[in-house]
Amino acid sequence: MRRLLLVTVVGLVFLNAYRVDAQGIDTERIVAMERAALDRWGKGDPQGYLEIMAPEVTYFDPDLEARLDGLPAMRALLVPLTGKIKIARYEMLKPSVQQHGNVALLTFNLLCYQNGDDGKERLVARWNSTEVYARLDGRWRIIHSHWSYIKPDVKQPAVGES
Amino acid sequence: MRRLLLVTVVGLVFLNAYRVDAQGIDTERIVAMERAALDRWGKGDPQGYLEIMAPEVTYFDPDLEARLDGLPAMRALLVPLTGKIKIARYEMLKPSVQQHGNVALLTFNLLCYQNGDDGKERLVARWNSTEVYARLDGRWRIIHSHWSYIKPDVKQPAVGES
């Protein structure tokens, strides 16, 4: 009886740590990985992301002329930003995980806040975020990231305009 | 001998129609699906996309305040655009497919051109495009789309700015 109780308690602790929902989706683990990387990013440390990106990673953000391919290209982009990013607080809105086999597609909107010189918090960026994770050799890794602004105030290109 | 030849010819035709590369990736089929939907989109017909979206589809584009979830929401967004989109020509740049099991992640940059009143072609939009396909009941369906502008001329929000 005691042993059964112990097994049950250990089982519940385990289930709580790695809760998988009714569809077998590893939502909490994926969201926790993303939050851990974001926390480091907001403190100026891009290694949190680089450490969980797969060699095959592909990447879009609004400052690039085209898709970036592969981990060496990501390192070249992100390492120079070390110490340059400061996010006081962020809100991850409605994170959603769509899992199919060894792929978990995480999507969310993100609001980023900084503290102004006057000590007031201000919203500095609003993002659409797509993070595609794949389970490779048993570990979840990012194989694709797409970051874009919510409702940017755009001028589309005037190339070829008369 | 004749029979062997016939089998070989049929096999080669089949392989050519649905070429799967050395990694077993169904690149051509996925790209062909996307192009077929894009062709219809450029003629003002959103049904090409709606017909290949899964019920679980999630979606980002630059005009939305937040992620859109589910096929009914996609219909509500796209059906009113019927007849309103006109793309004379597009270039799909460096399409890449990363396939893991029943998920195929298609990414590309897209240049869209329209014909001006002066008959000159002009570039009207440059996109970063992420299309996540999943094989559901044997059919490839879009489970996530993320469309964003390349290098938009942005003003990020002034909310809370003093």
Q: Which residues of chain B have pLDDT under 70?
A: 1-24, 154-162
Assigned domain for A6 exists: no
CATH number at residue B44: 3.10.450.50
Query: What pLDDT, on the 0 to 100 scale, is given for residue B119?
Result: 87
Q: Which residues of A touch B89 (CB under 8 A)?
A: none
Match 């469309």 to its residue by tokens.
B147
Assigned domain for A30 exists: yes
pLDDT of A26 higher than 70? yes
Assigned domain for A116 exists: yes
Q: Which of residues 45-104 of B touch A (CB under 8 A)?
A: 56, 58, 60, 62-67, 69, 93-94, 96, 98, 100-103
Domain count, chain A: 1
For the segment A30-48, the average pLDDT, to the nearest whole number, is 98
Q: Which residues of A touch B151 (CB under 8 A)?
A: 62-65
Q: Which bin fits B11, alpha (ψ -120 to 50), beta or left (φ > 0)?
A: alpha
Contact A107 B159 (CB under 8 A): no
pLDDT band at A6, cuts 50/70/90? low
* Domain encompassing residue A135: 22-149
Assigned domain for B34 exists: yes
Contact B126 A162 (CB under 8 A): no
- The contacts of residue A145 (CB under 8 Å, 6+ apart) are A49, A53, A57, A58, A59, A60, A61, A129, A130, A131, A132
Assigned domain for A16 exists: no
Minimal-distance CA residue of chain A relative to B125: A156
Query: What pLDDT, on the 0 to 100 scale, is given for residue A4?
Result: 60
Residue B148: which of A96, A128, A153 has the nearest Cβ? Answer: A128
| Of A28-32, A100-104, A156-160, minimum mean pLDDT range | A156-160
- Calculate how close chain B gets to A16, using CA atoms only, in Å: 26
Query: What pLDDT, on the 0 to 100 scale, is given for residue B3?
Result: 63
pTM of the model: 0.84
- Residue B17, SS3 per DSSP: helix
Assigned domain for A17 exists: no
Query: What pLDDT, on the 0 to 100 scale, is given for residue A11?
Result: 53
Assigned domain for A9 exists: no
Alpha helices (H) along chain A: 2-17, 27-42, 47-50, 71-78
Q: Which residues of A touch B130 (CB under 8 A)?
A: 60, 130, 144, 146
Residue A62: which of B100, B125, B148 has the nearest Cβ? Answer: B148
- Residue A49, SS3 per DSSP: helix
Query: What pLDDT, on the 0 to 100 scale, is given for residue B23?
Result: 58
Assigned domain for A3 exists: no
pLDDT of A61 higher than 70? yes
